[in-house]
Structure 1
Amino acid sequence: MAEQSNCAALSLVLIKIRPYLAMVSLQFGYAGMYIITMLSFKSGMSHWVLVVYRHLVAAIAIAPFALVFERKIRPKLTLSVFIKVMLLGLLEPVIDQNLYYVGMTYTSATFTAAMVNALPALTFVMAIAFRMERVNLKQKHGLAKVIGTCITLCGAMVMTLYKGPIVNMFGSHQVNLHSSSSASAGAQQHWVAGTVMLLFSVIGWSAFFIVQSITLKEYPAELSLTALICVMGTVEGGIVALIMERNNMSAWIVGFDSRLFAAVYSGIVCSGIAYYVQGFVNKIRGPVFVTAFSPLSMIITAILGAIVLGELLHLGTLIGAIIVVTGLYSVVWGKSKDENLVTEKGKAMELPEVWEDVSRPGNFVDDVINGHPGKPNFAVKHLHPEEP
């Protein structure tokens, strides 16, 4: 009995921390994508084409699992759901990722990851606007979510607006993706444009989580929805890529190099697996919880960027990282208190049970036929709140 109770307690703990482990693991996947895609761009990969190949790979990888594991629970694809899938395919695969990649080529992998730190704040505001998130400023956990979101946004702004002196933590040399001084000067001229594109990219990503949360209520099949989004992203992204690369059809040719690896890695890890995991966590914890962990990818990316790409770490990045992590802790703490309150309310609303004699008194013949002569038949009755 003791072993069974310990196993049950361990299972409950694993179930409780599963969303946290899933979201933290995804940040490592995103950090790897930042580095790999930057290397593929150095090899001449077109980001318009990368978006198409990425979602084509994701659709091929996820569709078989969706067909097998959700064949009995998959709802009908109504016109309403199809329109939402089209919108999801436009928001994240097309708008978010293309603007994201353009912004990253104009800035750097570390700066791009830093800009993504605005994602929790924007998603929080959108969730409140769509009444997916409730905030009571008279309660500590409600205040913690608001303050934490503001702190996270402040940290992102510090990383964006303040560079500060170089911090050579990993022996990084002043080597960047822009090898010549003239290229560096050109990059500085495009820094503002890159920042604006990254901002609109984050807005599209936030909207994606909101629409995904709404769609999952109508179409509660995470794998199937993920496959549909990837297919729609391939189609819509393909149309955009054909227009943007109409004079450069050689951009569609990839070999066994970093360009192919970037398409496969980002497709399987950052589209297929990520859409499914985010959908699963979004369904049980909401869009604010999903996006609250995105700042962690910046810290991982900054370390990998300094080691792999030779990008320089600035003091502003480190200060912003500390501020962001502080805000993240505040938001997650507030969300955990929300979950506890929901659980307590659920227990309080459970109806009490009483045992009521439902046998018909004096009907001895029926009692004998039922095999319980002289014994009353009891059944569970749930008392309603107005009943004594």
Structure 2
Amino acid sequence: MGWKVLNDVKPYLSMVLLQVGFAGMNIVAVSSLKGGMSHFVLVVYRNLVATAFMVPFALYFERERRPKMTITIFLKIMWLAFLEPVLDQNLYFMGAKLTSAGFATALINTLPAVTFVLALILRMEKVRLRSLHSQAKIVGTVLTVAGAVLMVLYHGPAVRFPWTKGHHHATIGAQGAAARDWLNGTIMLIASCMIWPGFFILQSNTLGSYPAELSLTALICGMGSLMSGAVALVAERANTGVWVIGFDNRLLTVVYAGIVCSGVAYYLQGVVSRQRGPVFVTAFNPLSMIITAVMGSIILKEEIALGSVIGAVIIVAGLYFLIWGKSKDKIISPSQVSDVSDEGAGALPLTLVTNGHGHGHIKEHELGDGNGGHVDVETPATNGHY
């Protein structure tokens, strides 16, 4: 009984701890970037550290079960490296530098909604409007987006906390940066929000035919280092001094972001995504915004506006609905997923959606469950696209 409870809790605990890690990265990274560090260099060093950290684990723990590399899998890994280490990370860091850590994480709260819509299009999620848990997922997604939009559009008066008394705050919104920089930063963050869900979905797809999370993480970070290194050499060709970092906050940023937010994060997201789906993974992102807002007000002296507080409350409510709805989806175990992937390379994990009675059989068609209900078995279609 105890092991069963632990296994049920592990995905939730992993995602919560991961969001704490992301919040820490937001603080140290923005601090380093505003201190003059190049975001191109940060991305390169971050992925180099992640590669060095993950390769030994991948070589040891997956030496006997690492699948054979194929051209299709290699191309997917190349796309994963291009989407996240190159495009998403550079866009996010540029956007956060031009705005603020709190504002950047507020916009990232749209991730669950974007991922949910993409998963619906790709048939990785099943929605039945008459089903209570499907309704909860829809309501949770809407509330999450509404809370994020409120944080962006409405600031209101500053909220004073005990730890902010006597401090001079950095102002939230366009007053804290030039209007043009703020607009450019916002556009970059929105683009990042469009790219990141694509990474999650393609990662889930790739793990269906290459079920080796540690090796996949090491390969993504390694290829990401090469690609982002080429981009950085071109972008910073006139300023070679940006590659030099000392034993200061920049080194902390590189090591922390590489180990926690690339190496460990990609691995945990891959494991949980195979079991629960990419929507479950992104559903916890709003927690990072709340943690970052509090840490930002303490460390970076960023001001927390009333709109951010109200938006955070709405986002938490949406997060509860979305996670509750996802908890009712019965996910096939990883061993079953591996068996299925062996039969058809490239197939995504199967999702067994029950009617809440706990009955159901895995078949290709909709069946009765003996209780007057029905069982839907979703077999995501894969056509080579994510």
Length-normalised TM-score, structure 1:
0.84
Instruction: Confirm whether residue 332 of structure 1 aligns to residue 323 of structure 2.
Output: yes
Match of 2:254 among 251, 254, 263: 263
Amino acid in the other structure paired with 1:213: S
Structure 1, gaps ≥5 residues long = 1-8, 352-388
Instruction: Confirm whether residue 23 of structure 1 aligns to residue 15 of structure 2.
Output: yes
Instruction: Confirm whether residue 122 of structure 1 aligns to residue 114 of structure 2.
Output: yes
CA distance in 1, matches of 2:301, 2:76: 41
CA distance in 1, matches of 2:176, 2:299: 23
How far did 1:185 drift? 6.3
Partner deviation per Cα, 1:60-81 (whole Å, 9 max, x = no partner): 0000100000011000111101
Partner deviation per Cα, 1:324-350 (whole Å, 9 max, x = no partner): 011111111111112287477885438
CA distance in 1, matches of 2:200, 2:85: 12
Structure 2, gaps ≥5 residues long = 332-351, 364-386
Does the 8 A contact of 1:170 with 1:306 survive in 2?
Answer: no
1:298-377 mapped onto 2 (5 Å cutoff):
298-339=289-330, 342=353, 348-349=360-361
Match of 1:164 among 122, 146, 156: 156
Structure exhibiting the larger radius of gyration computed from Cα positions: 1
Partner deviation per Cα, 1:200-238 (whole Å, 9 max, x = no partner): 001111100010010000100000000000001101111
Instruction: Confirm whether residue 68 of structure 1 aligns to residue 26 of structure 2.
Output: no
1:155-234 mapped onto 2 (5 Å cutoff):
155-172=147-164, 173-176=167-170, 186-234=177-225
Does the 8 A contact of 1:119 with 1:202 survive in 2?
Answer: yes
Q: Which residue of 2 aligns with 1:283?
A: 274
Task: Assess, with a 3 A threshold, how the Cα gap between structure 1 residues 350 and 34 changes in structure 2: closer, same or farther.
Answer: closer
Amino acid in the other structure paired with 1:57: V
Match of 1:244 among 217, 220, 235: 235
Instruction: Confirm whether residue 153 of structure 1 aligns to residue 145 of structure 2.
Output: yes
RMSD of aligned C-alpha atoms? 1.9
Task: Give the structure with the higher percent helix.
Answer: 1
Length-normalised TM-score, structure 2:
0.84
CA distance in 1, matches of 2:177, 2:295: 25
Moved more, 219-228 or 140-149: 140-149
Q: Which residue of 2 aligns with 1:86?
A: 78
* Count of aligned residue pairs for this structure pair: 339
Amino acid in the other structure paired with 1:250: G
Does the 8 A contact of 2:330 with 2:353 survive in 1?
Answer: yes
Identity over aligned pairs, percent:
55
Does the 8 A contact of 1:43 with 1:259 survive in 2?
Answer: no
Does the 8 A contact of 1:35 with 1:109 survive in 2?
Answer: yes
Runs (4 or more) in structure 1 with deviation over 6 Å come to: 343-346
CA distance in 2, matches of 1:286, 1:41: 33
How far did 1:176 drift? 2.7
